[in-house]
Amino acid sequence: MEKWQDYQAAMELIAASRRVLISGHLSPDGDSLGSMIALARLLKGAGKESFATADLNALGKPGFLEGVEDLIPVRKLKSRAKRAKFDLFIAVDNSSFTRMPPEVKAVAEKLPAICIDHHVTNDGTFGQVQIVDPTASSTGEIIWRFAKWNEWSLDRAIAEALWVALITDSGRFAYDSTSERTLRAAGDLLKYGVRTAYINDIIYGMFSRKAIELKRLAWRSLHIWKNRKVAEVTLTRDDFRAVRGTKAEAEDVIEIPRSVAGNEIALFFYQIPDRTKETRCSIRTRGDWDATVLAGKFGGGGHRKAAGCTIKAPLATAKRQMRAAVKDLLKGRLKTEVKVKDEGEERNV
């Protein structure tokens, strides 16, 4: 759990700054995008010039949020940074430069930094100040706590951004990461007029033609093995090109293998059209299996039940490597516990 001393240290850096740059990870999901939009608006309300940045072509469904129009496109960040002269960088839902857009890294690595994150694989070394809680449902939950601690004012736009962060990373409050504190945050956000049904329809109830076509192709690739314990789907570069789709339109494809009865390990292999000789893999697990163990073998990370990695190999080779790692995990050959630090002590997650 994050400590109040971390809040104080973060506020000292914020107080000493004038212009703050905020970024999440590559291809921001609901938690990453919602957190950066909410924090930027909260800091503006506190009298700071704050700006969030992202690739506007990779926002996906959370791109409807109010505040997206204020984002600095990453392709314009370099020129904007020359004029704005940022003096503080805040990374949300992101624990390293390797997961940020390269345009952000070039600017942010020269600035003092604060890291606000909830990934169990965060080692606490990124940034001068870390506000990190692996037990939180989402980074948005942590930002809500930080806002309350600072007695910052919220409005509907901020509340909806944080609501999207909460529901997308907690599986609409269904995942194990959902806690009493998560629901307390959600209950407070509702006071600001969050349009829950409207948001639910956009994110979970309506899909573009491209998203539906990608799901159709993914269904065709479904492969089930290990007596239904493991299921996987695949989208190739040609699949994305065929429908002119993006990864943002395939965000929930992982739910296809995960929906197989008896499934314990779900895998989604995909190739981004503009990347060569590498394959990405999203991982979801049930029971005692730890997704970060599989992702960590290839330099990735995330949460116990949801993680991801980039395998620097063509698709066929990447599949063989990941399948071998899954077999090792099932046979107990891979470490199945992740250690994180909590109040100076180590504990199993």
SS3 sequence of 283-339: EEECCCCCHHHHHHCCCCEECCCEEEEEECCCHHHHHHHHHHHHHHHHCCCCCCCCE
Question: What pLDDT does 121 receive?
Answer: 81
User: Which SS3 state, helix, strand or coil, does residue 274 take?
Assistant: coil
Over pLDDT 90: what percentage of the chain? 79
Q: How confident is the model at residue 335 (pLDDT cuts 50, 70, 90)?
A: low
Q: Are 119 and 14 in contact (CB under 8 A)?
A: no
pLDDT at residue 250 in the model: 92
Do 14 and 158 lie in one domain? The reply is yes
pLDDT band at 3 (very low <50, low <70, confident <90, very high): confident
End residue of a domain, out of 177, 203, 229: 203
- 275 belongs to a structural domain: yes
Q: What is the pLDDT of residue 340?
A: 36
Residue 220 lies in a domain: yes
pLDDT digits (tens, 9 = 90+) for 90-101: 999 988 888 889
Mean pLDDT of the chain: 91
Q: Which of the listed residues 176, 203, 230 is the one where a domain comes to its end? A: 203
Integer Cα distance of 135 and 144 in angstroms:
15
What would the mean pLDDT of 187-199 be, rounded to a whole number? 98
Same domain, 37 and 159: yes
H runs (alpha helix) in 76-170: 77-84, 102-108, 139-150, 156-170
Pair (45, 145) in one structural domain: yes
Residues 172 and 277 in one domain: no
Q: Provide the residue range defining the domain that includes 13.
A: 4-203
**pLDDT tens-place string over residues 105-135:** 999 999 999 999 999 888 778 899 999 999 9
Section 149-174 average pLDDT: 96
Region 317-345: mean pLDDT is: 72
Query: Considering the domain boundaries, does residue 341 fall inside one?
Result: no
CATH number for the domain spanning 318: value is 3.10.310.30
Q: What is the pLDDT of residues 23-76, one digit of tens each?
A: 999 889 999 999 999 999 999 999 999 999 999 988 989 999 999 999 999 999
Report residue 1's pLDDT band, with 50, 70 and 90 as the boundaries.
low
pLDDT of residue 343: 30
In a shared domain, residues 19 and 141: yes
121 inside domain: yes
Helix axes 139-150, 30-45, angle to 10 degrees: 10
Domain stops at, among 168, 203, 238 = 203
* Partners of residue 231 on adjacent β-strands: 224, 266
- Identify the band that residue 275 occupies on the pLDDT scale cut at 50, 70 and 90: low
Distance CA 342, CA 261 (A): 35
> What is the CATH classification number for the domain harbouring 26?
3.90.1640.10
Question: Quick check: helix, strand or coil at residue 18?
Answer: coil
Both 125 and 21 in a single domain?
yes
Same domain, 197 and 284: no
Q: Is the domain of 155 the same as that of 231?
A: no
In a domain, 55, yes or no: yes
Mean pLDDT, rounded, for 180-192: 98
**Token pair 């503006």 in the structure block, residue:** 44
315, part of any domain = yes
* Domains identified in the chain, total number: 2
- Arithmetic mean of pLDDT, 270-298: 90
Q: Are residues 128 and 158 in the same domain?
A: yes
- 181 and 66 assigned to the same domain: yes
pLDDT band at 266 (very low <50, low <70, confident <90, very high): very high
Q: What percent of the chain has pLDDT over 70?
A: 94
Whether residue 114 is found in the same domain as residue 188: yes
Are 43 and 183 part of one and the same domain?
A: yes
In a domain, residue 338? The reply is no
Confidence at residue 274, expressed as pLDDT on a 0 to 100 scale: 66
Q: Is position 345 within any domain?
A: no
